[in-house]
Structure 1
Amino acid sequence: MAKSTSVELDPAGASNQATARRETSKKERPISRRRASSLRGEPPGDTAPSMSTMYDRQQLEGFTNTTVTTPRATAEKPHRGRKRRKVKSFFKRWRSIAVRHTWLMPLLVCLVVVALYAIYPHPSNPISAALFLSYPLPRAKGDGPDVLVQYGKGKKDFAFVAFYTIFLSFTREFIMQRMLRPLSIRAGLKSRAKQARFMEQAYTAIYFAVLGPLGLYVMSRTPVWYFNTAGMLEGFPHKTHDAVFKTYYLTQAAYWAQQMIVLLMGLEKPRKDFKELVAHHIITLALIFASYRFHFTYMGLAVYVTMDVSDFFLATSKLLNYIEAPIVIPYFMIFLGAWAYLRHFINLRILASMIPLPLPFPDAVNTQIHNTIGFAGNLTSRGFGLASPVLQPITSVSASLFPETANLISRIPSLVMEWFNTPPTFQTIGPFDLNWETQQYKCWISQWIVFVMLLALQLVNLFWFFLILRILWRLVASWGEVVEDDRSDADDSVEGAEDRKDDLDIMRKEQGVIGELEKPALLVNGIPLPEGETGVEVQVANGEMR
């Protein structure tokens, strides 16, 4: 702000005196009109207006205190800062809209991609790889029209997964905000936290209600039906697939990639098992990529189905719990059975088909290890033989009561040695060798890698199964009065406090964006001054100009 200048004026003749001084100044020194600068505005550092434009030329009547802002020369071209300010204001407004409607940005990206393809709708268009399957193989001679077209694999599949990751982000946000939020309110959920959980689980249930049966249908068209561990390895390597199989597999990859984005961006409220959930998503994405790249897609298909169907029962069980449905307890028992069967029994069968694992040592070391294990088995058998006089009464009674069980117990050492010396299904079905040229990756290295990754996934599932069993125990101990998600953050009082905190955070976030948009600006002739510039105020009060 420029320093104020005080000048004594006669209230009645102030305007005439000022006009006379200006006319005298014009006669003494002519003023040349400044040409428009190529900078399209005044250089920074010299932005103060001239003193001759700091007040109106006509006499002001009927007031005692008036503030007049400094006008700019109308002939001057618009300042570059005005354009920047308009662009900045546009982006602020767009950010405000995008914060409230999170589905708009992925929708625009999808529309742009579709528009780019529509300009030249041909397979040679690079955008085609994002919308449609790539690498179709020509039909072999003699194949009839009933033979399905096979598709290979390649780098363009990443474009397909990336586009449908964005598309699933749009569908998730749109369905949750436009369809599921009103449904959650109608269901009587008042807090934002409960509405958010309802929407998350409802969207999950909708997705897996579609992809779960589709996965079973895809499985029925392959040798894997019904979770046949031998069929997972028949015809390896599985380098080509029909359109339905490949679309299903890559769509699932896009879904789990989108779920990882949801976790990283914090779109869902973290739970107590947040670290385990992140580990689960990382393991799942690693399994998807490795199975697709190294042609273990039949095994990946079986794992997909076990996860999808159990996730559907999990999501619907939570929904019934949120709305306090009367059938929540019977349905919880159905979910418990589906989880235990699919995520543990079936997946443990897949793990069992890969053991015993080959020893990753030189042949001489492996032979020594086998000899040591054989010696330990023989020593155990001799120990049972020496202890037979002591164990004879017990074994005789057990043999008379439970003959089959006693026979099985007596055969345990021999069964262990037989199992250890029998190669697993992973080795016996199909080639078992590493050959990069023929893309034959089923070997002892891949056996260890697949086993360790599936075991890690099984450990995470066992952690969640422990939490589910704890809910079951609480349900039984309370005689069916309590059914809670053991991963919830706290009780209702703490949840209510967190709801209020979330509401305040959302309000502050929205008001912060709107406040930037509605920030008052200094106007000169109806045009806001750039940031950092200010006019010089002229106040006329009681005949004194300040």
Structure 2
Amino acid sequence: MFFPRARRRTSKFFHLSYHNPDNELYGHGPDDLQLVLLWIVIFTAMRVLVMEYLLDPIARYNGIRTRKGLVRFKEQAWLVMYCTCSWSLGMYIMYHSQFWFNLNGLWKDWPIRETTGLHKWYYIVQWAFYVQQIIVVNIEEKRKDYVQMFTHHIFTCALIFLSYGYYQMRVGTMILCIMDIVDIVLPSAKLFKYLGYTSACDFTSIIFAITWFVTRHVFYPMVIWSVYKHTPTTMVPGCHLNDGSVIPPSDPRFEEQGGNQLWSNILQSYINRDGPVCWSPALRHSFLFLLIALQLIICLWSITIAKIIWKVAIGENAEDARSGDEGGDTEDEIDMELANVTHPINGIKSSHDLPAIEEEVGVDALSYKCRKRTSSTRTTSRSSGISISGHGDKKELLGRIGCDKPV
């Protein structure tokens, strides 16, 4: 940015590549990977900044104090914020396209080697987000469905990578919109749960169950069916040259152009963006395999959701399927609660910002909410706002009030 002689190399990280000034459209190519890398870094930074400086104060203001509660709230709120933006933009792009409520339009005029700048930017940003999600699931505390989430993100990144290289951004955009809507509703239900809005949580959970079934088991299978049904007739078999001509499979040049080579065709925009792109039944079966594999993962989640709904229907308590087995609150969480104990004399809440009140009081006058401790090896110097002579050690103080052992 600051060294003009270096811009021919660094500009690829900051701008969309392969701009065509004649029609104001953008092509595909390997230089786009550098913009993906930049957005992985941007999302990593944005996630930290938004969670720590925006969502953390909001969570604390609404009464969330435990470490686990703060982490869960910030993770889900960040997901809602991003997916709301990405889903809205994706729906806007689809609404102004020829495949809006027209599955056959997904495959017309293929291969489309150039697209609008907005559509290309949306696809690259989505690609970077899901790559960054692979990093996130390994940073967060492991959940019960870690394997499913990790595998889901791997499949999603693979589909985006392959569809972008094979000029199939339209079907990729539709699938991303189908997936993103659920990632708005479910985290919203969790946020209502963390904030204590039970009725809103229950209502949003119902909306989630309906949305999950409609999008994952109706709309998404319709896309798979369209790949199976429409592509053999709408997408012209053969090798499509850059000048618009097509070499049919019956022509001996079809094999010479690599018509039956799987990877060289799928990765054509990365290898030779001006070369021929071929379509054959083998490629169709490969995309069907990946899409169906993703559907199988979705079915595993659907079984878990069905179990939760059944527990609710028979009156049992249902837990978040993604909650990890972290056990009880840690000592950090207990310290945080002790730092907000109400003073028994004047009724104020103590905190680190308030000066310590030194006053002789009877032990019987103290009122602490004792919670189960999972660790007692670490000592802290955090003040509870009450100073009792001879009882500076927290463990000794807890012993005097009967909380020296786990309840």
TM-score normalised to structure 2 length: 0.70
CA change 1:132–1:483 in 2 (3 A) is same
Structure 2 matches for 1:81-92, cutoff 5 A?
Answer: none
- Kindly indicate whether residue 232 of structure 2 is the aligned counterpart of residue 432 of structure 1: no
Counterpart in 1 of 2:49? 174
Deviation of 1:482 (Å): 3.6
Structure 2 matches for 1:129-278, cutoff 5 A?
Answer: 129-139=12-22, 149-226=24-101, 228-263=102-137, 266-278=138-150
Structure 2 matches for 1:351-370, cutoff 5 A?
Answer: 351-355=224-228
Q: RMSD in angstroms over aligned alpha carbons?
A: 2.5
In the alignment, is the contact (CA less than 8 A) between 1:294 and 1:441 conserved in 2?
A: no
In the alignment, is the contact (CA less than 8 A) between 2:99 and 2:106 conserved in 1?
A: yes
In the alignment, is the contact (CA less than 8 A) between 2:141 and 2:324 conserved in 1?
A: no
Structure 2 matches for 1:278-293, cutoff 5 A?
Answer: 278-293=150-165
Choose the corresponding residue for 2:312, options 453, 460, 475. Answer: 475
Choose the corresponding residue for 1:307, options 175, 179, 203. Answer: 179
> C-alpha distance in 1, partners of 2:204/2:211?
11
CA change 1:314–1:327 in 2 (3 A) is same
Choose the corresponding residue for 1:456, options 288, 293, 302. Answer: 293
Q: Secondary structure at the match of 2:20?
A: coil
Counterpart in 2 of 1:80? none
Counterpart in 2 of 1:334? 207
Deviation of 1:499 (Å): 7.0
CA change 1:121–1:204 in 2 (3 A) is farther
Counterpart in 2 of 1:443? 280
> C-alpha distance in 2, partners of 1:327/1:454?
34
CA change 1:121–1:191 in 2 (3 A) is farther
> C-alpha distance in 2, partners of 1:287/1:430?
19
> C-alpha distance in 1, partners of 2:104/2:160?
20
Deviation of 1:324 (Å): 2.5
Gaps of at least 5 residues in structure 1 are 1-116, 141-148, 356-423, 509-546
Deviation of 1:497 (Å): 4.7
Deviation of 1:243 (Å): 0.5
Most deviating of 321-330 and 173-182: 321-330
- The letter of the residue matching 1:425 is H
Choose the corresponding residue for 2:329, options 492, 496, 520. Answer: 496
Task: Map Cα deviations across residues 87-135 of structure 1 (whole Å, 9 max, x no partner).
Answer: xxxxxxxxxxxxxxxxxxxxxxxxxxxxxx133299x531111111010
In the alignment, is the contact (CA less than 8 A) between 1:130 and 1:160 conserved in 2?
A: yes
Task: Report the identity percentage.
Answer: 28
- Kindly indicate whether residue 161 of structure 2 is the aligned counterpart of residue 294 of structure 1: no
Deviation of 1:498 (Å): 9.0
Q: Secondary structure at the match of 2:64?
A: coil
In the alignment, is the contact (CA less than 8 A) between 1:176 and 1:200 conserved in 2?
A: yes
Q: Secondary structure at the match of 1:354?
A: helix
Counterpart in 1 of 2:322? 487
Task: Map Cα deviations across residues 356-394 of structure 1 (whole Å, 9 max, x no partner).
Answer: xxxxxxxxxxxxxxxxxxxxxxxxxxxxxxxxxxxxxxx
> C-alpha distance in 1, partners of 2:25/2:331?
52
Counterpart in 1 of 2:245? none
> C-alpha distance in 2, partners of 1:239/1:484?
47
In the alignment, is the contact (CA less than 8 A) between 1:294 and 1:439 conserved in 2?
A: no
Q: Secondary structure at the match of 1:230?
A: helix
Counterpart in 2 of 1:13? none
Question: What is the total number of aligned residue pairs between the two structures?
Answer: 307
- The letter of the residue matching 2:236 is P
CA change 1:442–1:221 in 2 (3 A) is farther
> C-alpha distance in 1, partners of 2:2/2:318?
52
CA change 1:458–1:318 in 2 (3 A) is same
In the alignment, is the contact (CA less than 8 A) between 2:64 and 2:195 conserved in 1?
A: yes
- The letter of the residue matching 2:86 is L
Task: Map Cα deviations across residues 34-72 of structure 1 (whole Å, 9 max, x no partner).
Answer: xxxxxxxxxxxxxxxxxxxxxxxxxxxxxxxxxxxxxxx
In the alignment, is the contact (CA less than 8 A) between 1:233 and 1:429 conserved in 2?
A: yes
In the alignment, is the contact (CA less than 8 A) between 1:133 and 1:247 conserved in 2?
A: yes
Deviation of 1:209 (Å): 1.3
Q: Secondary structure at the match of 1:127?
A: helix
Counterpart in 2 of 1:78? none
> C-alpha distance in 1, partners of 2:113/2:208?
35
> C-alpha distance in 1, partners of 2:328/2:123?
38
In the alignment, is the contact (CA less than 8 A) between 1:433 and 1:441 conserved in 2?
A: yes
In the alignment, is the contact (CA less than 8 A) between 1:234 and 1:429 conserved in 2?
A: yes
> C-alpha distance in 2, partners of 1:301/1:181?
32
Task: Map Cα deviations across residues 223-242 of structure 1 (whole Å, 9 max, x no partner).
Answer: 2213x221110111121110
Structure 2 matches for 1:46-65, cutoff 5 A?
Answer: none
> C-alpha distance in 1, partners of 2:107/2:203?
38
Q: Secondary structure at the match of 1:151?
A: strand
Counterpart in 2 of 1:520? none
In the alignment, is the contact (CA less than 8 A) between 1:329 and 1:483 conserved in 2?
A: no
Deviation of 1:168 (Å): 0.8
Deviation of 1:433 (Å): 2.8
Counterpart in 1 of 2:368? none
TM-score normalised to structure 1 length: 0.53
Choose the corresponding residue for 2:3, options 81, 102, 119. Answer: 119
> C-alpha distance in 1, partners of 2:166/2:72?
37
CA change 1:466–1:498 in 2 (3 A) is farther
In the alignment, is the contact (CA less than 8 A) between 2:186 and 2:204 conserved in 1?
A: no
CA change 1:433–1:314 in 2 (3 A) is farther
In the alignment, is the contact (CA less than 8 A) between 2:143 and 2:325 conserved in 1?
A: no
- The letter of the residue matching 2:2 is A
Task: Map Cα deviations across residues 443-498 of structure 1 (whole Å, 9 max, x no partner).
Answer: 212111111111111111111122122221122211xx74431222248xx23259
- The letter of the residue matching 1:338 is T
> C-alpha distance in 1, partners of 2:332/2:293?
35
Task: Map Cα deviations across residues 257-309 of structure 1 (whole Å, 9 max, x no partner).
Answer: 1111222xx32111011111111011011101000001111110111101111
Deviation of 1:441 (Å): 3.6
Deviation of 1:438 (Å): 5.1
